[in-house]
């Protein structure tokens, strides 16, 4: 047996090398298949993630358009009121017949409610995107703060509009009821106060508009970065009072601190949290 092995050692060694080569080849083939499979799964995962980001961006764009449209409509309605009243009162002084201003307090209330509803719908949408876009928390906080100011400004403005704008009586009102019911004349001081309230409302709605622009920019840079190399530059504010929202870690931390600690909304939110925690602890 040993003599046979020695006499056939070259052939046996060749067969052994062949067998080793087959085994190694099989191992390499299995490894390559596994690697290709893992690469394929990873590619499918990335493609699915990018597709989800695109769908989120589409939804976000629709929401932002709705917020912008309703925001501008409500703001412009309010901004036009002081000049309409001034023109109407000047026409009375000069005995020039002009129709009553067509703006109404109740219509302003409806328009602002539509703007508020559009913004709330956008903010609520954020909760479904946190896993894909965790920085969305900054925009949720900023828009909550700005909406708080806009709501307070709209309430004051609505109360003033009730006093200085004509009112349409109900359809079943007596036939002798004036249509519209005219408001009392507005003094120069009242008009000045109205202009101040309108400016506060305009500024609050402008702040929402600025943050919407920042969100649009950040969404493009975050959600579409896997498809496009270009990055949209951040907004350059014309009014330094309006913060530019940035998701850079240091800036984001500073902005979150500002909204939570220095704004009216943040202070009220912290009071609410403290009361809620105290109530929960007492139970």
SS3 of 239, please? coil
Average pLDDT, the chain: 81
> Higher confidence at residue 46 or residue 280?
46
Question: Per residue in 127-157, pLDDT tens?
Answer: 777 777 888 899 999 999 999 999 999 999 9
* b/e 95-124 (16+ beta carbons within 10 angstroms → b): eeeeebbebbbeebbebbebbbebbeebbe
Query: What is the pLDDT confidence band of residue 7, given thresholds at 50, 70 and 90?
Result: low
Question: Per residue in 74-94, pLDDT tens?
Answer: 999 999 999 998 888 888 777
Question: Per residue in 23-55, pLDDT tens?
Answer: 656 565 555 655 665 555 565 656 566 777 778
8 Å CB contact between 166 and 196: no
pLDDT confidence of residue 91:
82
pLDDT confidence of residue 15:
56
Q: How many CA atoms lie within 13 A of 214 on its CB side?
A: 23
> Higher confidence at residue 242 or residue 216?
216
Q: What φ, ψ does residue 183 adopt, rounded to 5°?
A: -90, 165
8 Å CB contact between 115 and 187: no
pLDDT confidence of residue 82:
94
| pLDDT of 196 above 60 | yes
- The total of other beta-carbon atoms located within 10 Å of residue 49's CB is 12
**Predicted model pTM:** 0.79
8 Å CB contact between 59 and 125: yes
């Amino acid at each position: 047996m040993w003599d046979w092995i020695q006499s056939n050692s070259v052939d046996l060694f060749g067969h052994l090398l062949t067998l080793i080569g087959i085994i190694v080849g099989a191992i390499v083939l299995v490894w390559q298949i596994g690697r290709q499979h893992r690469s394929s799964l990873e590619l499918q995962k990335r493609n699915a993630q990018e597709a989800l980001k695109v769908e989120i961006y589409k939804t976000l764009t629709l929401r932002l358009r709705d917020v912008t449209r309703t925001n501008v409509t409500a703001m412009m309605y309010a901004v036009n009121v002081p000049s309409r009243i001034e023109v109407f009162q000047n026409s009375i002084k000069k005995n020039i017949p002009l129709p009553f201003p067509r703006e109404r307090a109740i219509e302003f209330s409806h328009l602002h409610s539509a703007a508020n509803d559009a913004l709330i719908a956008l903010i609520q949408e954020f909760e479904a995107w946190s896993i894909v876009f965790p920085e969305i928390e900054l925009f949720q906080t900023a828009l909550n703060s700005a909406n708080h100011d806009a709501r307070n400004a709209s309430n004051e403005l609505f109360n003033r509009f009730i006093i200085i704008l004509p009112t349409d009586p109900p359809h079943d009102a007596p036939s002798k009821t004036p249509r519209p019911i005219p408001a009392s004349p507005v003094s120069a001081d009242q008009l000045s106060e109205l202009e101040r309230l309108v400016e506060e409302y305009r500024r609050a709605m402008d702040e929402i508009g600025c943050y919407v622009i920042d969100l649009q920019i950040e969404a493009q840079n975050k959600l579409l970065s896997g498809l496009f190399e270009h990055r949209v530059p951040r907004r350059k504010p014309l009014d330094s009072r309006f913060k530019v929202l940035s998701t850079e870690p240091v800036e984001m931390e500073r902005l979150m601190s500002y909204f939570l600690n220095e704004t009216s909304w943040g202070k009220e939110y912290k009071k609410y949290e403290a009361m809620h925690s105290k109530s929960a602890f007492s139970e």
